[in-house]
Structure 1
Amino acid sequence: MSTRDLIDPDSRIPLDGLLSVMPGGFNAIADIVARRATVDQMLASMPVVENPNVAKEDRAVPGPAGDPDVTVRISRPKSATGTLPGIYYIHGGGMVLGSVAGEDATASRLCDEVGAVVVSVEYRLAPEHPHPAPVEDCYAGLVWTAEHAAELGIDPDRLAVYGGSAGGGLALGVALLARDRGGPALRFMMPIYPMIDDTNTTPSSQEIVDVGIWDRAGNLEAWAWYLGGKPADQYAAPTRAADLSGLPPAFIDVGTVDLFRDEDIAFAQRLMQAGVSCELHINPGSYHASETFAPDAALTQRIWAMRIDALRRALT
């Protein structure tokens, strides 16, 4: 039996359709510029209806010391008044792909359904900008968000960080930086199927080779680009953190057919052992980012219901 046979049938239909026109998936495109363009085109082709309940504004805010400004997109429920919870949103893409625009629909969904101000950060990407540029950009945006909470209408005591895949790894890196630098206090963190282990030695990292979405070869390549030939520290690869105490309560979910499955389960266990409250969900039949590629699947609806519920419980 192929690993792909373990995928939820409804979620597999759009994946098979993608692979029929793009054999090997987008990671099979060797040139990173062409790969980015293909992913952007693929995301743009997906039916997206602009959320009428959300108002948006883009701003340039100070980046890390000595580095360029970073752009953030601020999303706020149009009908909301007064102070709201805040969600600091970090997009995914294996540290080498992705953008705020590419995940705008998800950020808008969180804004609308949680009733929160969402601040999405546009960070520099590898290989042009290897570690620590991406995590430092994300941390700078978080510091700005916390410092301008009153202006943004955010309750500083109800600020969460959210990210999927690379965004999940960066969310954890940012949480570690905030803890270690005495930075912004985070109420909650939601790293979704986070990319956190550069060693690529877990069983699932060796098992997922032919699904077509973030298989082993693409992960190895992305980590090499992200690290730029230097050793990983805990802010690049959070599994390397010796001490996980003092981090905010967490929610982690990952699929059974996701390369990151085993590293994420192990990290959640370590959080609990360190005294950090952690809600962990394993989604049977889900591949990496399956909810993005199969938005109408029943599995996707269950995944989103759990995430929204957890954010509401933590923040409102």
Structure 2
Amino acid sequence: MLDPQLAALAEFRPRSTALATAPSAMIEALMAKPVPAAEDVEKHEVFIDASQPDRQVRCLIYRRKARTGLNPVILYMHGGGYLQGSAEMGEASHLHLARELDALVISIDYRLSPMTRFPGALEDCYAALRWVYCQGGAWDADLSRVMVSGASAGGGLAAGLALLARDRGEFQIHFQHLIYPMLDDRSGMPGVAPACTGEYVWTPEANVFAWQSLLGDDPASMSPSPYAAPARATDVSGLPPAFIACGAIDLFIVENVAYARKLICAGVPTELHVYAGAPHGFHLIGEADVTRSANRDSFNALARAAGVREHDRRAA
């Protein structure tokens, strides 16, 4: 049952592949939300070298103007089903985290599908991780506190990046912060998800189409890489501690709970939050009680991972 304070989300019901040909109403609403002024935070646009020659990845960097010492790093991957979105999404949150946690927040403008199939977006994110380790010193980055964060498809990218970094063994990730992450290509197929999920904002039809656009085939006929669909990973041991949050009527609730359980069983410190009556993208309704609670839990998890004690935080 949809939380009454989230009733406005009932209008977001993408039922067809039309979401691929024009920005969805949800993305438009996200981009239209006013961003509060933050005169104490500076914003930079940088272009970092990608894995392919003669190509760069655009990133936006947020950091406090007045800084002391080394800063924790939050690599952020935006949502949009791998089909839509940009590094500007979530800017209000980036400004807040940069100010409150003295964090270096890096939002990645990764390539989108279907123009770019897997692993293009993930390799863009890995390039950003490499840049932090190679160039972050000039930005006062604390390489012992490099965190990955993302929402929806961005959460899936963050989880995939944690797996990829573990297996390549070049760079360490300190913490993974996953907000209703898109983890399983099988979700949305008949009989996979409970009937009470996926009615609002992100539907089974939209999910199947998004995975097909990313992977380039019929999801039902594939067994994709766990770097694309982290739910497919058979070994999650040695991954960084995780925070996972999802609404109880989100299409992704089953895969999110299953992934949290898999992490816990592998000995990975994991914090899981499920919010009653909340569908996918419920953070869009910022004034709802459940959203305020979720935002508080999310922020506190990042603060703990960054090593910032509550009395050290600046007033919001």
- TM, length-normalised to structure 2: 0.89
Aligned-pair distance for 1:203?
4.7
2:4 to 9, 19, 30: 9
Distance 2:198 2:177 in 1: 26
Q: Does 1:258 align with 2:257?
A: no
The reply on whether 1:34 has 2:16 as its aligned counterpart is no
1:288 corresponds to which residue? 280
Which one-letter code corresponds to 2:292 in the other structure? Q
Instruction: Map 1:57-136 onto structure 2 (within 5 A).
Output: 57-66=44-53, 68-136=55-123
Question: Percent sequence identity over matched residues?
Answer: 38
Shift of 1:239: 0.9
Q: Letter of the aligned partner of 1:214 in structure 2?
A: W
* Residue 179 of structure 1, CA deviation: 0.6
Unaligned runs of 5+ in 1: 1-5
Instruction: Say which structure is richer in helix.
Output: 1
The residue type paired with residue 4 of structure 2 is: P
Is the Cα–Cα contact under 8 Å of residues 14 and 206 in structure 2 kept in the other structure? Answer: no
* Contact map agreement 1:205 1:260 (CA 8 A) in 2: no
CA distance 1:199–1:28, shift in 2 (3 Å): closer
Shift of 1:48: 2.6
Structure 1 residue 300, shift from structure 2 partner: 1.0
- State the Cα deviation string for residues 56-85 of structure 1 (Å, max 9, x = none): 100110112346210111110223222111
Conserved 8 A contact 1:177-1:183: no
* 1:32/1:188 CA distance change after superposition, 3 Å: same
* 1:217 matched to 2:205: yes
Q: How far apart are 1:110 and its partner, in Å?
A: 2.1
The one of 193, 196, 207 equivalent to 1:204 is: 193
Q: CA separation in 2, counterparts of 1:100 and 1:192?
A: 16
How far residue 137 of structure 1 moved from its aligned partner, in angstroms, is: 0.8
The number of equivalent residue pairs is 301
* Alignment-derived partner of residue 311 in structure 1: 302
Question: Distance in 1 between the 2:194 and 2:80 partners?
Answer: 17
Residues 1:299 and 2:290 aligned together: yes
Do the aligned partners of residues 46 and 29 (structure 1) sit closer, same or farther apart at CA in structure 2, a change above 3 Å counting?
farther
Superposed displacement of residue 31, structure 1 = 5.9
Partner of 2:13: 25
* Alpha-carbon offset, residue 206 of structure 1: 5.1
Residues 114 and 308 in structure 1, CA contact (< 8 A), matched pair in contact too: no
Is 1:56 equivalent to 2:47 in the alignment?
A: no
Q: Is the 8 A contact 2:69 2:140 kept in 1?
A: yes
Counterpart for residue 313 of structure 2: none
What CA RMSD, in Å, does the superposition of the two structures yield over aligned residues? 1.9
The answer (yes or no) to whether the contact 1:204–1:258 under 8 Å persists in 2 is no
TM-score, structure 1 length as denominator?
0.89
> How far off its partner does 1:269 sit?
0.5
d(CA) in 2 for partners of 1:160 and 1:31? 31
Q: Which runs of 4+ in 1 moved over 4 A?
A: 26-29
The 1:27–1:102 alpha-carbon spacing in structure 2 relative to 1, beyond 3 Å, is: farther
* CA separation of 1:280 and 1:257: change in aligned 2, threshold 3 A: same
* In structure 1, distance between residues paired with 2:30 and 2:246: 21
Deviation of 1:142 (Å):
1.0
Change in Cα spacing, 1:183 to 1:67, as seen in structure 2 (3 Å) is farther
Q: Which amino acid aligns with 2:208?
A: L
Task: Note the C-alpha offset of 1:232.
Answer: 1.2
Matches of 1:241 and 1:67 in 2, distance apart? Answer: 32
Deviations 1:25-51 (A, max 9, x none): 356461624236x55543343233233
Shift, 1:135, TM fit: 0.6
Read off the aligned partner of 1:278 and give its amino acid letter: T
Residue identity in the other structure for 1:313: R
Distance 2:274 2:117 in 1: 31
Q: Which runs of 5+ in 2 are unaligned?
A: 308-316
| CA distance, structure 1, for counterparts of residue 6 and residue 138 of structure 2 | 41
